[in-house]
Amino acid sequence: MDNSTYTPTTDLTIFEASDFRSQLLLLFMMQDGPVTVDLSQVHQVDSSCLQILLAAHRSGRLTVAGHSEQFRVKATQLGCRELVGH
């Protein structure tokens, strides 16, 4: 991984949302170009962190990688399909 990739190692729920948002903002400030969130070590993502990912993705600079099938299904069900491609 390089400096433009953030790999959270905890679940991303309402309890981690504030820290997760802060980490993403820091990454965006430190990088001029595209950034990636690698979810390969995350087991659970709730709607609060999904909304944070969606807002960051809509900036045009964020890619989500390493997501599970469960994440893909949840994102699709909640109308966030753009996070996982089509």
Among residues 70, 13, 8, 16, the alpha carbon closest in space to that of 42 is found at: 8
Q: Residue-wise pLDDT tens for the chain (86 aa)?
A: 467 999 999 999 999 999 999 999 999 999 989 999 999 999 999 999 999 999 999 999 999 999 988 888 888 888 888 998 75
Give, as one character, the DSSP assignment of residue 64: E
Full-model pTM:
0.89
Instruction: Tell me which residue has tokens 């400030």.
Output: 29
- Rg of the chain over Cα atoms, rounded to whole angstroms, equals 12
Helices (H), 1-86: 17-30, 47-57, 69-77
Q: Domain residue spans in the chain? A: 5-83
Helices (H) and strands (E) counted in the chain, each on its own, are 3, 3
